[in-house]
Amino acid sequence: MSGQINRLSGGRRINPEKPLRFTFDGKSFVGYEGDTLASALLANGVTFVARSFKYHRPRGVFTCDPHEPNALVQLRNGARQEPNIPATMIELYDGLEASSQNRWPSLRFDLLSVNQLLAPIFVAGFYYKTFKWPAKFWTKIYEPVIRRAAGLGRLSGKIDPDSYEKTHHHCDILVIGGGVAGIEAARVVAQCGARVTLVEEHARLGGLDSAGFEDSIARLEAMENVRILPRTMVFGWYDDNTFGAVEQVSDHLEVPGANQPRQRMWKIVTKQVILATGAHERSLTFANNDRPGVMLASAAERYIREYGVRPGRRAVVFTAGDKCDALVETMREAGIELAAIVDASKGEEIEDVRGSTAVRAVTLRGPDGRTRTIACDLVCVSGGWNPAVQLLAQRGQKPRWSENHQAFLPQHMAGDDFLCTGSLAGLETRADCVAHARMTGALAAHRYSCPASANLAEFYGFLEKAEASAARHPFFESAVGGSKKFIDLQHDVTRGDVALATREGYRSVEHVKRYTTMGMATDQGKNSNIHGIAAMSKSLGKSMGQVGTTGFRPPYRPVSIGALAGRSRGRQWRPILRTPLHGWVEEKGGVFVESGLWHRSQYFPEPGETMQQAIKREVLAARNTVGFCDVSTLGKIDLQGPDAAAFLNKVYCNGFAKLPVGKARYGLMLREDGIVFDDGTVTRLGEEHYFITTTSAESDSVLSHIEFCHQVLWPQMDIALADVSEDWAGIALAGPHARSVLQRIAPDMDVSNDAMPFLAAREGTILDGVRARLFRISFSGELAFEIYVPARHGRALAEALECEGQEFGITPYGVEALDVLRIEKGHVSSELNRFTTASDLGLGMMMSTKKDYVGRTLSARPGLADSDREAVVGLKPLDPSHSFRQGAHIFSKGAAIAPESDDGYVTSSAWSPTLGSHIGIALVRRGRERLGEVIEIVDPLHGERPVPAEIVSHHFFDPENERVRS
Amino acid sequence: MRIPCPLCGARPLEEFVYRGDATVTRPEEGAPMEEWVSYVYLRNNPKGAHREHWRHVAGCGSWLIVDRNTLTHEITRVAEVRPSGDAR
Ligand SMILES: [Zn+2]
């Protein structure tokens, strides 16, 4: 295979014994173990790897870093396909498949590169200027066409087959960055015995150049109190020294190993942090500075030295003033011809870069204004260094412009719990970085042992001296050259765009960023912001420091949604709550439905039965013989104390002072703003002992609310509350034979109508000595009891009911039948929708006038007492077979179907087997005055024909309450 | 962010729920409507020191008064609203 035409010998990371095959855009190549996709492509002479975002210009590998702006590729195929991955961060593995993005139909022949001709349209703010009107153009033209033209890679649309996990980690000292500064700081601080964690985003430690530090790394790795996390990127610094990091556990493999996650999210809590995040080399602004073959000087040097790759054969170096000695020496050793060094500090500039899919030549302009053209295929750019201040800026630091360093440095190099070192702190030589890092490590160790006495004078002194002696030449852009001077390679923002934005009146760097989209791509401005600031500085006549940087928020680099979700997906996306009867329901073939976190029994189909048939059978059983239903999901609160009755009087709108022992009462709870919050029952078990039930949906919020009432509003009340929801299993037993069945399972208790009338409550033992609470409460409208037993006996209770009720035709029913029964009876439930008042619900008479309670005063506000409000009524279609849905709207006959004439909406609907008709409950404007009126139920959302229906009382079934008292 | 619960120690934010301003007091019975409206709806949005109600919902269940700087998230004092046990 002719293959690796640009491979040199001696790449430090490369193992030439291990060739690896890979494909790019379907073409096969070979690289070596140790390569990245970027280095392997360069070794194979592939320098044109992408099309740009807006103009579809040819682009090549620009950096050796995670914030690569050009060489973004789509990695893998099928469900594992991942878009927008920097080729510079993809560790090569055998069989790797990648493809270029943002081109159609192919990289070389890209029809959309016609966008380049439209460049005058795609200027700063073009979204705001172009797409104002007409509105329908958005969906027809702008979205489909422009979005297609401007974009990155695509997701597969399939479910990610890999797993992601989360972990927590605690340490004494966290070192961020595994370059030489991080290594040395970690090694020194670890000698004090503290638990040290070193996080490095690359696969191995060493940073830009680790030559000579192999020993240090080995010693660090051998320390037992040191944990090294390679391939891990700290993306956020949160309150109380909490850090978010993502470890790319198996991204460097074709497929994760058995039981291996693809990525792992770390939540790291530390006492101190040493920031050694380093610095990013920056480019320069000149015409056609985006051509494939234009590359950062440090990247070119690293490709040669670390990967044994020749990024070009004949190079021009363009520098802001740095001598680039290391690069020159490396190129010489590699046999790369150095055609020219263009040093801006000597008045030399690049005026233009020739070539389209590859650099062919550059035009130079000397201090005398004379130009000459030099053939070359590589332009190495050295614009200076940007310290990686992003994490510090997340904590609110405003980076400080240093004129000497020509860079934004950390505003504060140290704080109570953090220290900055290395090139992040502005240090320019390796010797300085190492010396200061050791000093920093010793300081952190000192703080760890005796926090109070650390002296930072030496630490600061070192940095001040380094800054005083720094003398970077201020240079950011060539004064000459054409229009295509790119500032943001990834978003195709040019020097002209920034100039236009300032001409149009933009003054703040934050506004220019948003208007031009500079710095808003996946590299988050790591390549571009500094040049945008420099351009603004020039246009506005302000200093770099006056323009300032934009704010930085987490994440430092893009984080995959999978890592954020972790295990919370599919069945694990949230917890599941199961009642004590869950296993029994399963054995009975019951169907479950999710209701909040609960899995509740929905219905119990007999063989061959449809859901509707099952519900009908279950409802008729409760009406005609006897049925039972799991109600364990209700919230249950135990309330005790001398002030319990007074407390209940405060939290419920109806009175509880006179509730006798052994009686239950329906209670209605309001919010302080007067809206209904929840309903349930309160049972007085003893002089100072009450048992409260709440709805299943609101059980947590009610508990929180009444704890607030107790602890905050009325702390002087002598009561105690306990959430006993999980302690009790509850079953509702309903139907004409309910008492007979109950008597059989509770032979020791008198459950006759005299001994236990409607709303009576008794404690006793049932089955074979199981402690139980029996409440004669009915939600169905039938003679009914709620039976509570300790949760562990729930199943036994269900089995006993089934067995003893057999001769009465006992039938278990689920929440569907439960809902039908309560709609037939006219009990409100889904009508408590956080918009309704007690009066809306037909429960206005429950609101006591004799006491203060939560919600009393504000429920009297004119808007809540307005007679024009929607009130609860029943709906009966004129044709009983006409169905309608919850959510359908109510209109007067003949009224226009428009929001202005909307008269309310359906809150509950069901087929009533008892009445042989569809029925519903609705909130209808002035509903109680409109009984007998025929209205129309309208449901355009589901495309259904209007259903004419009569407004009736919502107490469809047994309005005299004879059955519940029988 | 971590909140030092007086009963449970420093616990992560996820264990708590936030309610809001702890400086408002529920009006007396019979107070005019305006006082109730202001109690339920009107809030300052201070930049800096603030006194707030939090509940340690995934811990002891206590309602807490938390003095927190809304700008820096620094917490200077945490106390139970209704002192429990020996503290009462
Ligand atoms: Zn607590």
pLDDT tens string A30-88: 999 999 999 999 999 999 999 888 888 999 999 999 999 999 999 999 999 999 999 99
Interface list for B 29-68 with A (CB within 8 A): 29-31, 33, 36-37, 39-41, 53, 55, 57, 61-63
Alpha-carbon distances of B77 from A708, B49, B51, B53, B84, rounded to whole Å: 20, 11, 9, 12, 17
**Cβ within 8 Å, pair A707-B39:** no
Q: Which residues of A touch B62 (CB under 8 A)?
A: 711
Look at residue A250 and give its three-state secondary structure. coil
Query: For all residues of chain A together, what is the average pLDDT?
Result: 93
What's the CA-to-centroid distance between A635 and ligand 1, angstroms? 22
Task: Dihedral sign for Cα A830, A836, A842, A843, please.
Answer: positive
Contacts 24+ apart (CB under 8 A), A757-763: A757/A965, A758/A964, A758/A965, A759/A663, A759/A664, A759/A665, A760/A662, A760/A663, A760/A664, A761/A662, A761/A663, A761/A664, A761/A683, A761/A684, A761/A685, A761/A691, A762/A662, A763/A685
Confidence at residue A209, expressed as pLDDT on a 0 to 100 scale = 79
Alpha-carbon distances of A454 from A190, A274, A368, A722, rounded to whole Å: 17, 15, 55, 50
According to CATH, what is the number of the domain A477-542?
1.10.10.1100
CATH fold label, A635-723: Alpha-Beta Plaits (3.30.70)
Confidence at A213, pLDDT banded by 50, 70, 90: confident
Domain A164-279+387-469 and domain A283-383, same fold? Reply is yes
Look at residue A260 and give its three-state secondary structure. coil
Q: Which residues of B touch A860 (CB under 8 A)?
A: 33
What's the CA-to-centroid distance between A207 and ligand 1, angstroms? 44
**Most A CBs within 10 Å, among B7, B14, B19, B26, to test the A interface:** B26
Alpha-carbon distances of A201 from A67, A92, A176, A228, rounded to whole Å: 12, 16, 9, 11
Phi, psi of A953 (to 5 degrees): -65, 145
Residue A129 pLDDT > 90: no
Look up the CATH architecture of domain A283-383. Answer: 3-Layer(bba) Sandwich (3.50)
Which one has a higher pLDDT value, A14 or A148?
A: A14
Residue A423 pLDDT > 70: yes
Answer yes or no: are the C-beta atoms of A625 and A738 closer than 8 Å: no
What's the CA-to-centroid distance between B16 and ligand 1, angstroms? 9
Look at residue A561 and give its three-state secondary structure. helix
Q: Which residues of B touch A673 (CB under 8 A)?
A: 40-41
Residue in chain B closest to A852 (alpha carbons) equals B29
Confidence at residue A884, expressed as pLDDT on a 0 to 100 scale = 97
CATH fold label, A1-157: Ubiquitin-like (UB roll) (3.10.20)
Q: Is A203 exposed, middle or buried (0-12, 13-18, 19+ CB in 10 A)?
A: middle
User: Region A925-938: what's the mean pLDDT?
Assistant: 97
Q: Nearest by CB to A715, which of B2, B27, B81?
A: B81
Residue in chain A closest to B32 (alpha carbons) equals A857
Q: Which residues of A touch B72 (CB under 8 A)?
A: 396
User: Region A250-265: what's the mean pLDDT?
Assistant: 95
CATH 2.30.30.90 fits A164-279+387-469, yes or no: no
Residue A238 pLDDT > 90: yes
Q: Nearest by CB to A240, which of B2, B33, B53?
A: B2
Residue in chain A closest to B52 (alpha carbons) equals A712
What's the CA-to-centroid distance between B60 and ligand 1, angstroms? 4
**Most A CBs within 10 Å, among B71, B82, B84, B88, to test the A interface:** B82
Per-residue pLDDT tens for A688-723? 999 999 999 999 999 999 999 999 999 999 999 999
Confidence at residue A454, expressed as pLDDT on a 0 to 100 scale = 75
Q: Nearest by CB to A711, which of B39, B40, B63?
A: B63
A711 close to B (CB below 8 A): yes
The predicted complex's ipTM stands at 0.97
User: Region A853-866: what's the mean pLDDT?
Assistant: 95
Question: What are A680's strand-pairing partners?
Answer: A667
Domains of chain B with bracketed CATH: 2-80 (3.30.2270.10)
Class of A867-952 in CATH: mainly beta
**Domain definitions of chain A by residue range:** 1-157, 164-279+387-469, 283-383, 477-542, 577-633+727-813, 635-723, 867-952
Q: Is A404 exposed, middle or buried (0-12, 13-18, 19+ CB in 10 A)?
A: middle
**Cβ within 8 Å, pair A712-B53:** yes
What's the CA-to-centroid distance between B61 and ligand 1, angstroms? 6
Number of inter-chain CB pairs under 8 A, A vs B: 53
Confidence at residue A121, expressed as pLDDT on a 0 to 100 scale = 61
Residue in chain B closest to A672 (alpha carbons) equals B40
Q: Which amino acid, A240?
A: D
CATH 3.30.1360.120 fits A577-633+727-813, yes or no: yes
- Residue A251: how many other CB atoms lie within 10 Å: 21
B80 close to A (CB below 8 A): yes
Q: Which residues of B touch A238 (CB under 8 A)?
A: 1
Confidence at A286, pLDDT banded by 50, 70, 90: very high
Per-residue pLDDT tens for A821-846? 999 999 999 999 999 999 999 999 99
User: Region A439-443: what's the mean pLDDT?
Assistant: 96
CA-based nearest distance B80→chain A, Å: 9
Confidence at A943, pLDDT banded by 50, 70, 90: confident
Q: Give all strands of the β-sheet with A598-603 in edge-to-edge order.
A: A577-578, A598-603, A591-595
- Residue A186: how many other CB atoms lie within 10 Å: 30
What's the CA-to-centroid distance between B59 and ligand 1, angstroms? 5
Q: Is A467 exposed, middle or buried (0-12, 13-18, 19+ CB in 10 A)?
A: middle
Residue A951 pLDDT > 70: yes
Residue A115 pLDDT > 70: no
Residue A445 pLDDT > 60: yes
Rounded-to-integer distance, Cα A386 and Cα A407, Å: 6
**Cβ within 8 Å, pair A858-B82:** no
Q: Nearest by CB to A713, which of B19, B26, B62?
A: B26
What percentage of chain B reaches a pLDDT higher than 90? 90
**Cβ within 8 Å, pair B61-A708:** no
Confidence at A1, pLDDT banded by 50, 70, 90: very low
CA-based nearest distance B45→chain A, Å: 20
**Cβ within 8 Å, pair B82-A673:** no
A238 close to B (CB below 8 A): yes
Supply the DSSP symbol for A607: T
Which has the minimum average pLDDT: A114-118, A299-303, A627-631, A955-959? A114-118
Per-residue pLDDT tens for B23-58? 999 999 999 999 999 999 999 999 999 999 999 999
